[in-house]
């Protein structure tokens, strides 16, 4: 297998890791005003992801860095053409991170309400725009012979891309609700599980529509199988949630999101950014790649450090594996 293909697969795996892990973070943030009826419940929800959210964002940083180093032409065209949506995502992530740190700095309901709104928006905006961005990448965007994006912002807001954004929002809401059900005790646990099943039904419908549209655009037999497995995993997860099996339910949405993202990358390959103007202008794993020496050096570094990073994150999940309830929130902070 060529190094360009290997690095395309590695970048795809990084994005899979980002969406399945950060996805439930976004879901919890978006559900904060829905499930968190009281301050103590909101504190419980935030504490479920408090030790994890910043580690989950590492997958995004590594994916961006790997794309810059392995496929500089892809990185340049992507960030110039998608400048505004990516800027909005960055601002939302910054505001979200600040909200995690500042909402507890003052014992004032209005203060906390403002930061809770920031958490909600800081989770909703990336959840929506990542779906829009990836749908556009798979569908193809106006790229000319000089590998430059020649469209505008509103070219990205086409029906297929908007359906992709709606799909990611609904999937992350379902994923987040089942994560809350898995990680909490008490009344909020049951409400989160029931909400996950309800929202999951809408997510399943949107996912089937989006993956079917993708299949019509660029699909083949492999993407058809992957899309079918993703739909089956989501349905299985919802059935487990309805039966109160939260661990298996969360595993179902985890696998479903991972397979859905994999489907998009398989549909994309060997392109990394198709051109809607002329297929000859499309960026491929070969035309957008860095030099062989760069890819070889990156492969050695990745082989050494990737297991360490994955091992550390797995250990952190193990340490914070237990459920959280209202009894764990100090009385003075309720």
pTM score, whole prediction: 0.93
SS3 content of the chain, % helix, strand, coil (to 5): 80, 5, 15
Nearest Cα neighbor of 281 from 144, 140, 151 is 144
Question: How far apart are alpha carbons 48 and 130 in whole angstroms?
Answer: 23
Tens of each residue's pLDDT in the chain, 334 residues: 689 999 999 999 999 999 999 999 999 999 999 998 888 889 999 999 988 888 899 899 999 999 999 999 999 998 888 989 999 999 999 999 999 989 888 888 899 999 999 999 999 999 999 999 999 999 989 998 888 888 888 888 899 999 999 999 999 999 999 999 999 988 899 999 999 999 999 999 999 999 999 999 887 899 999 999 999 999 999 999 999 899 999 999 999 999 999 999 999 999 999 988 888 889 999 989 998 999 999 999 888 888 888 898 899 899 888 888 877 677 655 5
Residue pair 126/26 in contact (Cβ under 8 Å)? The answer is yes
Q: Using DSSP, state whether 149 is helix, strand or coil.
A: strand
Residues 6+ apart with CB under 8 A from 291: none
322 phi-psi bin (left φ>0, alpha ψ -120 to 50, beta other): beta
Helix or strand run (H / E) with residue 271: strand 271-273
């Amino acid at each position: 297998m060529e190094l360009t293909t290997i690095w395309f697969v590695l970048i795809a795996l990084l994005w899979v890791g980002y969406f399945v892990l950060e996805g439930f973070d976004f879901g919890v943030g978006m559900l904060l005003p829905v499930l968190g009826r009281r301050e103590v419940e909101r504190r419980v929800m935030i504490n479920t992801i408090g030790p994890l959210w910043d580690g989950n964002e590492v997958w995004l940083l590594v994916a961006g860095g790997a794309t810059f180093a392995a496929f500089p032409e892809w990185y340049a065209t992507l960030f110039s053409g998608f400048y505004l949506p990516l800027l909005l995502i960055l601002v939302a992530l910054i505001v979200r991170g600040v909200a995690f740190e500042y909402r507890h700095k003052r014992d004032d309901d209005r203060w906390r309400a403002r930061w809770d709104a920031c958490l909600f928006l800081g989770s909703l905006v990336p959840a929506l725009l990542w779906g829009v961005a990836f749908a556009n990448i798979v569908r193809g965007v106006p790229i000319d012979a000089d590998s430059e994006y020649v469209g505008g912002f509103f070219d990205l807001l086409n029906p297929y891309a908007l359906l992709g954004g709606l799909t990611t929002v609904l999937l992350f809401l379902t994923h987040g609700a089942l994560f809350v059900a898995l990680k909490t005790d008490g009344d909020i646990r049951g409400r989160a599980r029931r909400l996950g099943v309800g929202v999951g039904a809408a997510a399943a419908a949107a996912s089937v529509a989006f993956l079917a549209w993708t299949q019509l655009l660029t699909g083949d037999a492999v993407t058809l199988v992957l899309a079918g497995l993703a739909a089956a995993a989501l349905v299985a997860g919802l059935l487990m949630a309805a039966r109160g099996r939260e661990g298996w339910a969360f595993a179902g949405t985890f696998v479903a999101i991972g397979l859905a993202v994999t489907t998009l990358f398989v549909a994309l390959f060997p392109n990394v950014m198709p051109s809607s103007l002329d297929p000859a202008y499309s960026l491929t794993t070969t035309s957008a790649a860095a030099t062989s020496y760069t890819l070889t050096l990156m492969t050695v570094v990745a082989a050494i450090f990737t297991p360490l990073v994955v091992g550390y994150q797995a250990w952190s999940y193990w340490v914070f594996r237990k459920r959280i309830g209202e009894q764990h929130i100090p009385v003075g902070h309720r």
